[in-house]
Structure formats: C-alpha cells, structure tokens
Chains A and B, each alone.
Chain A
Amino acid sequence: MTFTGVFQMAITLLIMVIAAIPLSRYLSHVFNGEKTFLDFLFTPVENLTFRFLNVNKKEETDWVRYLKTGLIINFLMLAIVYFILKFQNYLPFNQMRYKGLSWDLDFNTAISFITNTNWQNYGGEEVLSNFSQMALVFLQFTSAATGLVFAVAFIRGLVRREAKYVGNFYVDFIKGIYRLFLPLAILFAVIMLWQGAPQTFSMQKKVTNMTGVKQTLSVGPVASMTAIENLGTNGGGFYDANAAQPYENPNPFTNALIIFMMGTIPIALFLMYGIMIGNKKHAWTLFAVAMTLIVVCLAVIYSQEASGNPFLSKLGANIHVSKNNPGGNMEGKQEHIGIAQTSLFATATTAFTTGNVDSAHDSFMPLSGMILMSEMMLNLIFGGKGVGLLNMLTMVIIGVFIAGLMVGRTPEFLGKKIEAKEVKLATLAMFAHAFIILIPFAITVAIPAGLAEIFNPGPHGLSEILYAYTSTVANNGSAFAGLNGNTLFYNISLGLTVFFGRYVPIICQVAIAGSLIKKKSIPESAGTFPAHGPLFYAVVMGTILLVGALTFFPALALGPIAEHFAMAEGHLFY
C-alpha cells in the first residue's frame, strides 16, 4: 500500500461526493416537479413526448397501476430487444453479417440488459452487430430509469400522508431519461471520445501496426455505450473485456472517470432522498453507513492486493513495491492502472452494482473476492440506480422495526408506523434476495451441468459459481471470469435468477410504498428515536451485518474463506 494509492482513492471518492450534492438537489427538483434551470430545454420536448404517448402528465396513479405500467413496459422492451438480437442478420449496421443469437443466449442477454444487470455470456465485438449493441444501449437507459423511478415512488410513499397516488410512471420515467441520463450520457460520451474511445457505425478497421503486421480492429459506437453503461450502472460493455479493453478505458484518467460515472448518481440518489423527505440528516446517516462499508471493503481489497500472494514470494518473485515494480498481486490487472485504482474500480463496480470490470476479479486474492461478493450480497452500498436505495430502505425498515420496539413504541419510520404489512414485505424482499442466490447456487454445485463449466477446482471453483449467482441476482453483471456461462444450463439459470432477483424485491418494495402512503404521519417527539445520528447508524449497520450478511456466511466459509486459510496453510488447488 502506498500513500499515492490511498490518496488516489480518497480523492476519487471525495470528488464523487462533492459532485453528488448539487446533482441531488437538481434531481429532487425534477421529481418534485419543481423548477430547474434546464426547464426551458426539457419541458417542450417532454410535453411533445407526452402528447405523442397520450399521457396526461398531471394524472397520478396508485402504486399498483404504477408498478404494473412499469413492469409491462419493461417486458415489452424485453421482447423487442429479444427479437432484435434474434434477427440481427436482417437488420441494419451488420456489415460483418453476424448471425442471430441462439435462443438461450438471447434470452439471457435480453433479460440481463432489461434488468440493469448486463451479465454478458457473449463477447460483444464478436457476435453483435452495431444495431444490436445500440438496442442494448437503449435498455441501458430504460433499465436505469426504471430502477430510479421505483425508488422515487417509494420516497413519495414515505413523504405523502394519507394519500393514494404515488405518481405517474410515464412522467417519472421520461423525466429520468430526458433530464438525467440523456444529457449526462452525451456529455460523458464526448469526454470518452476525446480520451480515445471509438465512435463509429463501421464495425471493423484494418490497420498496419508498428511492426508492419496488418491487423483488424473491432470498432463501433463505443464511447456512447461506455457513457451510459456506467452512468446507468449497467456495466455491459461494447467489448468482451469491458473496461479492461483499452478502447473502453484508454488510460488511468478514464479509469477514474468511469468510477466517477458509476458512483455519483447512486450517491446523489441517497442525498436526493434526504431532500425529498425533508430530513437531510437521516439521508446523510444512511450515506455514512454505505460509505463506511465502501471504505472497509476498499481497505480489505487494497491491502490484500497490495500485499500479494505469499506463494509467489516463496517461489522467488519480487512482490514488494518499488519504483519499477507495482508489487502485490498484479495478476489480471493492468500495469498502467495499478493496484490502487484497480482495487477502487472493483470495489465501486460491485458496490454500485455496475458490473463493468477493468481487471479479472477471478485473479484477486481470496479475501478480496469474498469482499466483492459480499458487496453484491448486501446490494445496498449505494447500489444500482434506485434499487440500492430501495434495498437500503428495506433493511432500514427491518432494523427500525426491531430497534423501534426497544424504545417501547410501535416502531415508526419517519413518522409512519411499521406494522405487519411492511415487515412482511420488507423481510420477503430480503428473503427473496438470499433465496434466489443460494438455492440455484446449491443446485448448480450439485449437478454435472453446473460443475462442468468451472475453471478451477476446490474452493475457488465454488466461489466462481457463487459469484455468478450473486452477481446476477444483485443485477451486477460482473463475472468472476473462469466460469464459462454460455451454456444452455447457465444461460437459462442465470437468466432466471437475474429476472427474479430484479423484480421480486422491487414488487415488494413498491408495495411497501403503497402501504406507507396511506398512513398518517405521527409527529416526532422525545419518545420516537431519531432517524439520524450515531445511534441510528449503529442500528442500520447492525441490521445489515446481522440480518443481511449472516445468511451468506456458510457459503463464503466454504468458498473464499476456505481458500484463504488453505492458502495460508500452503495448500493449493489445481
């Protein structure tokens, strides 16, 4: 570990937080329907869209209608993209004449992109036409907006009292895309373009390299995809190798920029929540919980990676940091990015559930691998667009319920009583998350179709499978390489876990909003325990660690923890 390394990480995180503050203010104005400085630009375009869609922007609906509309639109888009990928050979921008995807890979890919997961069982540049890539980009916008607006609906459930209507899905959805994702995507696409990412409709470029060898480069609309891929915490890159491919991530600056793109909006959403509910202190406390988790995870990963594999040291490799030696565990990492920024990237991509990778997570030290998985198992360290906040609030509801009883009142959260219905839905959302990871995982390690595709034997192989299901259920999409996912079994099983991992918790959470919105709000008194400050922090953190994380302990014990101790004992699996 070096001072420069720590400094790099700290400054990146700090800039994200600083940028998130004004962004959160802007977003709260957008979703509260208040004036913003960009109204002159967006209002006319929005009105045109609403007229075209025949949407009355003043009409609001209850949570059932809101949820239904959102889900139907999601499934519709899913079908459209499925057919685009299936029949890409009949569609434009396919100079390479790539064939349509096999049905199972297509199923997996389409579901993966509509759910903001972007698990990729294909190598983008080798199987997808530019039209197909752009169809996926379309989903990268809409899936991010979907998560975001459900979170907005939830917030309204907390804010509004004795009400019924949570908002208008179409209006929120369009606003999210027009006023947040589109402008930022354009801005960052231009920056990526400037930094060297390709942006073209042609699919290949033939060049002669420095040694005189002729080479064919895969190109396409890369810069634009990279922007929304990260801004929408999607994580599905143009290239197979995602940000480990230099066209997607040309230099250390873009590496930091990508981290910035991934994290700023999720952080801003936490703060936006604080503004919308009128309790900024509460939101900052949740921010502190998530930030603590990030910093702890980062510290473990960075220290593990920086100290490297003791085995290599025994074999005579020099893993100490020096001027010309990055030291530590450099396997699967890029020289020009280095251990510090790679550690931050890996922490960020799992915390913000983006899934974009700039290194091989498979090659990380066992405990680093465990941390990466844990971040996705929690799925609330700022998390993906909207859903991270939703998951955090789900845990908060469970925590407030238990702790609230301890002050001698029916638990209240922001003035609203937490009763049987909310507890049922919140615990169900939490249960679904664990169930959908653990059960398919257990089935997979028990059947030949599952075991056939792992790369490493022993605990690492177990980790590979566990990582896959964790990543898909958390809608992260990053992979612990090693596992070959493009088989009928994995395409279907991972596709299904992606699907249920996304929608079951969301349905529960929006239903909570529907239940909360009807309630009266009880004014705060000395008898209600404050939803901010160190005590609340301890309650939320305790709930996350005891209720949210303990579930995964046995699986982690046999995977990364076992690998770690075996390594310490000098035992290898190969």
Chain B
Amino acid sequence: MPQKSYYVSAFSKKILSSAIRDSFKKLNPKVLIKNPVMFVVEIGAVITTILLVKDLFLHNFKFISFIFQITIWLWFTVLFANFAESISEGRGKAQADSLRKTKTEVIARLLKINGREEKIKASQLRKGDVIIAETGDTIPADGEIIEGIASVDESAITGESAPVIRESGGDRSAVTGGTKVLSDKILIKVTSNPGEGFIDKMISLVEGASRQKTPNEIALNILLVVLTALFLVVVVTITPMAGYFHGYISPVILVALLVCLIPTTIGALLSAIGISGMDRLVKHNVIAMSGKAVEAAGDVNTLLLDKTGTITFGNRMAVSFIPAPGVNVNELADYAQLSSLSDETPEGRSIVTLAKQYGLRGRHIDEKNVKFIPFSAMTRMSGVDIADKKESVRKGAVEAVVKFVEQNKGTVDKNTIKNAEEISKKGGTPLAVAINNRMLGIIHLKDVVKGGIKERINSLRKIGIKTIMITGDNPLTAKAIADEAGVDEFVAEATPETKMAIIKKEQGLGKLIAMTGDGTNDAPALAQADVGVAMNTGTMPAKEAGNMIDLDSNPTKLIEIVEIGKQLLITRGSLTTFSIANDVAKYFAIIPAMFAPVFPWLAPLNIMGLSSPGSAILSAVIFNAVIIIILVPLALRGVKYKPAAASSILTRNLLIYGFGGLIVPFIGIKLIDIIITYLHLV
C-alpha cells in the first residue's frame, strides 16, 4: 500500500483562495467562450449591467433595485461556474507542485566514448547518452540500465519507500529520472530528452495542461450548445408575442429567463467533473495519459486479468501436510520445517509458517553438524544433511524425492503417489518430504487467491463486465484457480501472444478491453487494449504502450479504475438530467411573472404562489446560481456508485436526479421567494 499519495484535498485554504482569484480571471471572454453555455450567461450579465448603468444615468430608479439584484446574481452565476472549474484545477496544480519539488537540478556523470567521466547538468543530457550512477546518486534522467544491478529508491514517484531492484536486461531494466540509487553502481543509457521525462509527463498530466475534451464530453457539449440555442430561440420569440398583446417585456427579464432555461448547472460543472475524474485516479496513485482513457475504462466490457499478482498473490503456499501411511503428521511437519529452514523462497517460508500450526517453533540448529542442500534445477530437491544423526532430509518434486528414497533402498507406497496426483489434479503443487529411505508424506502447495477477489469479480459480473484470467499454468491448475476466483473464462498455458489474440478477438465483437501489464512483451497488447494499465515497476516500452500507469504496481486496481470511469460518466449524466429537469419549475416561476403585465389571466400558472412577479424572477435566478455552488462538492466527489445492473443504477439516478430535479427547484425557489419577501428585497 502506498505510504504517500499526491492527492491533495480540494478545500485547503491555499487552493480555495487561488480558485477565487482564478474565477475572476476566467471572466475574460476569450477564456469563457470555450464554455458556450456560461459564455451566453456572461453576455446576458453584460446586457443587464449596461441597462443598469443606463437607468442610473437616466435617473430611472423605479426598477433599479430589481435590475441590480438580477445583474449581481447573473455575474455570480458565471463566477460560480468559474470557481467550480478553478477549484478542480487547483487540486491538480497543487499535486503538480508537490511533484515538481522532487525535480531538482542534478549533476549527471556522463560516460564519454573514450571511457572518461564528465560531470554535466542533467538538462544537458540527450537521448542515447550513457551515464553512471552510484550509491547515493539521483538518477538524472529516464533511462535503461545497460550494465549492473542496483537497489533504487523510487519513492519520489510511487510514494513507496521500500527500495526496488533494477538490473540490466529483462523486464526490470528501466529507471526513472528523480529516483535515487541506494546501493551499487549502474550504467544507464538515457532514453528521454530533458523536459520529456516521465516526471515531466506526470506533472503536465496532473496539472491538466494537456487536458483535451473526451469524446463523451464533446457529445454532451454539443447537446448543451443546441439546448442553449433552442432556448435562445424560445426567448427571442417572446418579445413579438408580448407585442401582439401590446405588451412590453424588459430585456432584463428575458435575460433572466434565458439564463434560467439554458443548462447552466451542468454547463458550469462539466469541466470540473472531468478534471476531478482524473484526480480520483491520482488519489488511487494511477496516472491516466488522457481523459479518454478514463472514459474508456467506464466502457470496458472485458477485463484481462493476469493470474499471478492480480488474482493470486503469485506465490504458492503450503496449505496442508499429508503424511504417508504410518507416519505421524507431526513428524512430517517437523521434517518439512527442518528442510525449509534455510529455504528463503516464499514457498519455503510458507512451509515454516504452516508447521508452526503444529506447535513447532523455529529451532536452533547446530550449524557444524548441518549441511544445507540448496535447490537446483538438476536435482529438483533441497534439504539438509545432519551429519551426527546421519539423516538426510529431502524436500522437492515428487518424482525426484521418490527417486531419492529408492536410491536409499527404500520403498514408496502407492497411497502417497496417489495423494500427490490428487493434489496436482486440483491445481495444487505436491512436494514430497523424505528422510533417508523413508517417505514421510506430501506437502500441499497451493496458489492462494487474494482475499475478496471473488466478491469483486462477482460485482463486475453484475455490471456486465466479463473477466478472463490469463496464466501460463497448465489447464488443471488454471481451472482450479479460475473456479476459486469465480472468473468467467480462463486461458491456460498462455504465451505473450495470447493476450494480443484475445484482445483482438474481443474487440472484433465490438467489446472494449482492459488489461494490466509490465513486461516488454506485454507492450503490444497494452497498446492494443482500450485501457492498458502499465505497472510502474514495468519496463519503459510497457509504460509507453499503456494509457495509464499504476504507481503502486497493483494489478488488482484495474477494477477500481473501471469504477472511477463509470462514476465519471454517471456524474455527468446525472447532473445533465438534473439541469434539464429543473427547467419545469423555472418556467412555472418566470412565465406567469413575466406575462403578468401583458396578460394577467395567466396568474393561475403561478402554482408555487410566489409573492410577486419581481420576487418570482429573482428567486429563479438566485436558485439557478446557488445550485451550482451547492453541487460543486458532488461534481468533485462524483455521484455515489455501487456496482449493480445498469437498470438498477439508472432507476436510482433517474429518481434522484430526474425526479429530484423536477421537485427540488420548486421547493428551492419557493424558499428563496419567502426569504426575499421577508427581507423586502423586491
């Protein structure tokens, strides 16, 4: 788990104050035009301001208080929208700042072709340069180790303080600029020019500098623009209609109606929702290369899950001892433990742990008498020889141990062999333990499925996502794990090409695929997948191919990423629905008020019983502005999301945001009307 996260709370004092400043800066029409809905509000506010000034100069004070209040609230509407965007950006900026601090100018030790070393500034390094890094050095740029092995502190990027091993060749050869070598010496070939490194990329992503509108956001924007145009048409036609009755409706009221009808709520919060969606990923220590990837995560139909690391812990663990006939289980546990004492592999440790359950504590062994036999691929066994007792204990592959017993003129009974086969069939791994010519029994090793994974896969199924487990294991083992984890499908004996084949097949069916990967041979599949999450511990090609990077390198997180993607889309849809549904109440507030002087018989439409035409219009405008601020936390946090079938999610959100959107403004406008009337504001 991460010790440190770049996540910063939105409501810190610093962010708030800079957001308020930015809200005013964003009044600049050149900036605001990117948000057409709010741009229209700003134009409206400018119009009413001009009318207000005109009335001031003409000493026309009859409606001046009303016009003043409407004008103020229109400006507030724009400011509130700007504030929503600023505050979501502010958080990103703060995160970027804390990343930037890790990026101090370092001196690089450039290795020249003639073998000499030269100290230069990191900013002078170019792709292809070879540098040296030794204990205590900060690695000056992204690169690949071409020689050596070192333990590296990557906490600057991952927040994880435990050092990781980096070595030349293979999947662990990539190093990142800004990380620190803790021990040993390595030669690094630089792979990025200054300013293009991983940290730089991360900073610009977190900051939102390279933020582009996502496909759904673009589509939604079109809808909002057309709705705005539609209501513009509606409002424009009101003047001639009133003229038909020889009436006149003040442009201030028309502007007020327009602003209330156009979808300002969602228009104001749309970009904040998008930005905070990316932020939520950062909170989970995942960096998305684009907003598009976050959205695609919500759309995913199929998850490709690596068995090792994602579904299981990746290490086989001893789960039981099965003694041979005539052998006490305690004896078996005893010798199993003895043979594993020096076995530092996770399997070995798990045997020691299991043995403890039989009351066996770790013991002191006189090292003079004991010779540890390490595991080798040739013998496929490990163990100990105890010289004074003339005991040779062996633990290892069943055939190898059987051979060992037979070499010592012992015999192995059929039951033990059968037990071993049984374990293999269930997908486990049997290890035999023998002492001299006596077979003691079998240790059952098993790939242990991570806790809670079954529930998560179940909840994925509920939301219609298929899970495919990929493993290099044989079909038997794979099936056992697949059954235990509850995945929908599994592919055993997979090769690196298998992933690619599955992705292409599923995509051919029109599905979107997500996967995680870390190795170089995962890179093509990561690139092909719609959502490719590269592990930060992975190789550079893998990181470049994926569209997200998990700094914690925890593949199980794929599931959270999907949920965050969904939550982002849900928040957008819900607030759009809310915004549109609000119009009904606003119509009922403004239409009778607006037409009151023109056509007084429309009074029965004032079903809220608002006290006066002026207060009705003002209340609607105030509600329209205030609701933006009220919804900012929801936009930043996202609508609550619990995995469930689409229809039940929709029912819930339709009720809350659709039906609620109809009702809430009726109550809100009425309340504001009561307050306004009480304060004699109109």
Contact = CB atoms under 8 A, between A and B. Distances in A.
A431 B230 CA distance: 6
A419 interface: yes
Nearest to A161: B510
Given A405-B576, A406-B653, A418-B219, A554 B241 contact: yes
Interface in B583-598: 583-584, 587, 591, 595, 598
A407 B649 contact: yes
Contacts of A521: 510
Contacts of B647: 529-530, 533, 535
Contacts of A459: 599
B580 A402 contact: yes
Contacts of A565: 601-605
B298 A424 contact: no
Contacts of B243: 445-446
A538 interface: yes
Contacts of B565: 408
B220 interface: yes
B227 interface: yes
A522 B510 contact: yes
A568 B601 CA distance: 9
Given A427-B227, A438-B234, A443-B240, A561 B605 contact: yes
B358 interface: no
Interface residues of A, number: 68
Interface in A529-568: 529-530, 533, 535, 538-539, 542, 546-547, 550-551, 553-555, 557-558, 561-562, 565-566, 568
B573 A403 contact: yes
A571 interface: yes
B219 A462 contact: no
Nearest to B653: A406
Contacts of B595: 557-558, 562
B650 A402 contact: no
B270 to A, nearest CB: 12
B657 interface: yes
Contacts of A526: 461-464, 645-646
A403 B654 contact: yes
A554 B230 contact: no
Contact of A550 (B220, B511, B587): B587
A408 B298 contact: yes
Interface in B518-569: 565-567, 569
B658 A542 contact: yes
B301 A402 contact: no
Interface string A99-137: 000000000000000000000000000000000000000
Nearest to B511: A522
Q: Secondary structure at chain B's binding surface: helix, strand, loop or mixed?
A: helix
B463 A527 contact: yes
B274 to A, nearest CB: 12
Given A401-B219, A546-B584, A547-B580, A558 B650 contact: no
B237 A554 contact: yes
B657 A409 contact: no
A402 B227 contact: no
Contact of B569 (A410, A427, A535, A546): A410
B387 interface: no
A72 interface: no
Contacts of A458: 245
A557 to B, nearest CB: 5
Contact of A408 (B222, B511, B641): B641
Contacts of A402: 223, 573, 576-577, 580
B650 A405 contact: no
Contact of A446 (B240, B509, B603, B653): B240
A327 interface: no
Nearest to B563: A408
B236 A442 contact: yes
Most chain B CB atoms below 10 A, which of A407, A422, A438: A407
Contacts of B43: none
Contacts of B408: none
A408 B240 contact: no
A435 B602 contact: no
B583 to A, nearest CB: 6
Interface string B633-651: 0000000010001110111
Most chain A CB atoms below 10 A, which of B233, B242, B601: B601
Contacts of B649: 406-408, 529
A410 B239 CA distance: 40
Given A406-B574, A408-B565, A423 B241 contact: no
Given A406-B573, A551-B230, 4 more contacts: A403-B654, A406-B654, A422-B219, A566-B601
30 contacts: A402-B576, A404-B573, A405-B569, A405-B570, A407-B649, A407-B653, A408-B646, A408-B649, A409-B299, A419-B215, A423-B222, A424-B219, A430-B230, A434-B233, A435-B230, A435-B233, A441-B237, A526-B464, A526-B645, A527-B463, A529-B649, A539-B654, A542-B658, A547-B227, A553-B587, A553-B591, A554-B238, A554-B241, A558-B244, A558-B602
7 closest pairs, A vs B, by CB?
A: A527-B464, A405-B573, A408-B566, A525-B464, A520-B510, A406-B573, A526-B464
